[in-house]
């Protein structure tokens, strides 16, 4: 007899938010925008703009959900998830959604360089349209001990690696965010080492869970969540999931990342979720589910150990006694 054992982070099919709800919501939003344009006495051109805002590849959403990737928790409400964001480029509090709207995301040029067959510069929209877009529901765990559950759209990072054609067997992938202090007021604070940089080992980058995010909640990714393209590594603390990426570099040198450079004793390179190891200033044993007021126990690798624990078996600290290896 074949017995299928469910993974700890999977949920039942009848608990998944129906795709129709996303479609209905999107249609209602566009309908309200069109009605506002008519009420204002605008012409057909303005009405068309109201119906089709300047988003990156909007026709790709909502993407089909990949049922193999579920979170085992209820989805965080869209309004909550899109209005509670760390994005220091736009300010140090969580409520930066309005400020982030100043960011120009179209056009958006991306460099791919370093140890590759040929350096590439490509527009984000062109790159995204080349990729197999799907939706995955992932847990998100911040190092500040709060969590949410988000339906991300995008593609496996391994697809971008294949597109880049690495040469010479690089060990790491370094990622870099934009620098535009005229649009991002937080970048006027010169005590931060802009641009924001992050990195993964190539083994991490090729893991099935490493995901390039281009959308959320059945729509193109909002600016405050890292449009037009960001990373999601659900087994790591959220600061590893770099936003609004403009450069991917393949290298043999382990990247010195943004927060590691500022506070290496608090924000290390690996930063895997580990409830057994406290942050120097607070416990990681529990986490608050944003929007609910509930605290629950944290789980090693944020519940994704089956997929990622083997990546760390030969690294000092093993599968997990150390947070910052």
Kindly report, residue by residue over 224-236, the tens digit of the pLDDT.
999 999 999 999 9
Give the list of residues 6+ apart from residue 309 with CB closer than 8 angstroms, or none. 301, 319, 320
Q: Which residues pair with 212 in a beta bridge?
A: 155, 231
Residue 31 Cα to chain centre, angstroms: 29
Binning pLDDT at 50, 70 and 90, where does residue 315 land? Answer: confident
This prediction's pTM: 0.83
Separation between Cα atoms, residue 143 and residue 176, nearest integer Å: 20
Q: Quickly state the pLDDT bin for 53 (edges 50, 70, 90).
A: low
Strand partners, 109: 123
Q: Rounded distance, CA 205 to CA 159, Å?
A: 10
How far apart (Å, rounded) are the C-alpha atoms in residues 308 and 312?
8
Backbone phi and psi for residue 141, each to the nearest 5 degrees, phi listed first: -125, 115
Backbone conformation region of residue 166, classed left if phi is above 0, alpha if psi is from -120 to 50, else beta: beta
pLDDT tens digits along 154-176? 999 999 999 999 999 999 999 99
């Amino acid at each position: 007899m074949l017995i299928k054992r469910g993974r700890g982070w999977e949920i039942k099919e009848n608990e998944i938010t129906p795709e129709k709800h996303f479609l209905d919501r999107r249609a209602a939003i566009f309908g309200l925008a069109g009605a506002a344009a008519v009420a204002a006495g605008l012409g057909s051109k303005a009405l068309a703009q109201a119906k089709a805002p300047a988003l990156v590849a909007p026709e790709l959403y909502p993407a089909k959900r990949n049922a193999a990737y579920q979170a085992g928790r209820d989805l965080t409400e869209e309004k909550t998830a899109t209005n509670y964001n760390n994005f220091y480029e736009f300010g140090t509090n969580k409520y930066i959604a309005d400020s982030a709207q100043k960011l120009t995301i179209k056009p958006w040029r991306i460099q791919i360089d370093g140890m590759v067959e040929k350096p590439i510069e490509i527009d984000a929209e062109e790159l995204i349209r080349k990729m197999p877009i799907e939706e995955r529901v992932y847990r998100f765990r911040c190092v500040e001990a709060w969590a949410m559950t988000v339906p991300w759209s995008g593609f496996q990072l391994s697809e971008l690696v294949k597109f880049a054609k690495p040469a010479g067997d690089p060990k790491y992938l370094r990622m870099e965010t934009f620098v535009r202090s005229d649009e991002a007021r937080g970048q006027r604070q010169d005590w931060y080492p802009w641009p924001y940089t992050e990195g993964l080992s190539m083994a991490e980058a090729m893991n099935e869970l490493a995901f390039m995010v281009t959308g959320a909640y059945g729509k193109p990714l909002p600016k405050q969540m890292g449009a037009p393209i960001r990373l999601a590594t659900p087994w790591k603390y959220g600061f590893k999931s770099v936003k609004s990426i403009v450069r991917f570099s393949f290298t043999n040198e382990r990247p010195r990342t943004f927060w590691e450079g500022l506070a290496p004793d608090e924000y290390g390179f690996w930063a895997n979720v580990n409830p057994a190891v406290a942050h120097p200033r607070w416990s990681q044993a529990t986490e608050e589910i944003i929007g609910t007021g509930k605290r629950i126990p944290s789980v090693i690798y944020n519940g994704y150990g089956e997929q990622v624990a083997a990546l760390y078996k030969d690294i000092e600290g093993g599968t997990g006694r150390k947070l910052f290896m």
